Structure 1
């Protein structure tokens, strides 16, 4: 089996692609993979480190407002499509899949024009411009939220879930607990604002840091590397409990997710795939700075089903955050209801479902 995979820009597009590649290799040890990304995106660092053959094209995204930059983008798209066609002709894939990001535009479009079977994978409840455009040309559209179905030709849509969910099936919760020196007899809440952190969440947390010592649960707070020094400087100026563990970043996040009882986080698609696969209750604070406000719509999908509490950033305070955490961890039956609801939304077999879709679509 020969597969071209394209996805880039952010981890939300790259990590599902890597999870899918693992699944392809698990089913076909002799499978040949070519990953096409950009030199500027995170994929240029992450993908080669995984030992996956990697090539690049140059592309940028469209501006939503009228801009001369869009003329440049059209030119780059045409040049990128020609380069992608050359790569695809040489590699001769059985199928091409795009997992999101601008780079998928020319790559998947080139494959479709060459009559190579094509699939796009949409992680969010509201698709971006690239996948909306590509949906007219591809053979299949894989989605993770039922809400996304309305944006695509209905005869092409298949609900698969996010391949990243499958990665949490192999977690070592004890290793996650030990890595943070957590007390196994205490409930644990993880508060994280994404890989780079989120200042509003930092500010809310710090405003009530002295209150955590009164709680009967422990808190792991991940500041994000860029905010860590500033947060720790403020922490030094106040008293706080040893039940509060502060880290700049967590590298073994899947293992840690298996060791906690509640997560406070943004509402990126990868995060939601992981926590629903585990049946982990959540308090979601969607980022208001993303395209189409898709994180809020992702979060509301969990809220509607009773799996999450959603707090808008502008409504959040330290007191409100602590109040909601208390509700989940102390109100009788609350945690269990959210756990069951989250589990019902999870698709732990998502990687295999996307793989099966690829196999059925391939020539």
Structure 2
């Protein structure tokens, strides 16, 4: 099996691609995988470190308005399609997969023109502009959310498959006891995990200060807050100015970044998160109820739609970023502390939405596209 995977720009496109690649390698006896991205994107750093071969093309994203920059970008796209075609002819893949981001547009388009089987994986409820365009050319569309199907009405029903979003296998293999031990968490407290993404979320971080004050020394609850590297010093400084001594209080743990996120998820009873597709896939796979604060500037406001899909199914409570306050977080956390049955019910609803085997489903779907 020879496969090209393209996707980049953000970790939300890159890490699902890596997960799919590893799953294909597991299922295929002989497998050779090539990633295609850009020199400027995160993929140029991440993919080689993960041990995969990597090729690059020159391509830019389109602005979401009419502009001369878009005209020059479209002109440049012709060149990137040609370069993609050269890579495809040389590598001779059986299947080409795109996981989102503008880089996969020329690659999937070139593969389609060369009659190579193609598939895109759409992670969000609201598809990105690249995947909306590619849907007209590809053989299969793997959806992370059932709700996204309505945006692919021009595609044939047999093209569309609901698979869920791929998650790292270690997210499911970590146990609660291992997570508690690794992060030195108390065994008899409700654990609240607060994460605003790899870079943090300022609105969430700022809203947490009153939460610390309210729950400091609370014997029923512990908070593990990942602030992001750039926000960490500011948050810790504000905590100290407020008279909260982290070392002595014990139930509030602040970290700039968390490398063992699967361990944290294993130990978590309630999450306060943004609403990126990958993060939500991991929460639902583990059955973790959540307070979601969608990032308001995400393309097409897709995080809002992702979050509302979970809220509609009873797996989350959504607070708009502009309405987020410390008092709202305190009230919501207190409600869960005083209503453990509701927390358990939300956990069950979250687990029902989870697709822990999504990566395997996508990999198997890709393998069916290989022609004899």
Query: TM-score, with normalisation over the residues of structure 1?
Result: 0.97
* Structure 1 residue 167: Cα displacement: 4.4
Greater shift, 43-52 or 212-221, is seen at 212-221
Q: Distance in 1 between matches of 2:344 and 2:177?
A: 21
* Structure 1 residue 172: Cα displacement: 4.3
* Structure 1 residue 32: Cα displacement: 0.2
Greater shift, 100-109 or 25-34, is seen at 25-34
Q: Distance in 1 between matches of 2:263 and 2:222?
A: 17
Which runs of 5 or more structure 1 residues have no equivalent in the other structure? Answer: none
> Contact conserved, 1:166 with 1:350, CA < 8 A, in 2?
no
* Structure 1 residue 332: Cα displacement: 3.7
Query: Aligned ranges for residues 58-69 of structure 1 at < 5 Å?
Result: 58-69=58-69
Residues 1:52 and 2:52 aligned together: yes
> Contact conserved, 1:4 with 1:34, CA < 8 A, in 2?
yes
Residues 1:344 and 2:342 aligned together: no
Cα deviation, 1:96-120, whole Å, max 9, x if unaligned, reads 0000000010000000000000000
Cα deviation, 1:256-314, whole Å, max 9, x if unaligned, reads 10111111000000001001111111110000010111001000000000000100011
> Contact conserved, 1:165 with 1:350, CA < 8 A, in 2?
no
Partner of 2:346, secondary structure, is helix
Which runs of 5 or more structure 2 residues have no equivalent in the other structure? Answer: none
Moved over 6 A (4+): none
Cα deviation, 1:309-353, whole Å, max 9, x if unaligned, reads 100011111011111112223304111110110111011110110
User: Could you tell me which of 177, 185, 188 is aligned with 1:185?
Assistant: 188
Partner of 1:333, secondary structure, is helix
Structure 1 partner of 2:211: 208
Query: TM-score, with normalisation over the residues of structure 2?
Result: 0.95
Structure 1 residues 332, 50: CA separation in 2 closer, same or farther (over 3 Å shift)? closer
Structure 1 partner of 2:225: 221
Q: Distance in 1 between matches of 2:143 and 2:195?
A: 26
Q: Distance in 1 between matches of 2:306 and 2:333?
A: 20
Q: Distance in 1 between matches of 2:2 and 2:14?
A: 19
RMSD of aligned C-alpha atoms?
A: 1.2
Partner of 1:337, secondary structure, is helix
Partner of 2:121, secondary structure, is strand
> Contact conserved, 1:276 with 1:343, CA < 8 A, in 2?
yes
* Structure 1 residue 151: Cα displacement: 1.1
User: Could you tell me which of 235, 242, 255 is aligned with 1:238?
Assistant: 242
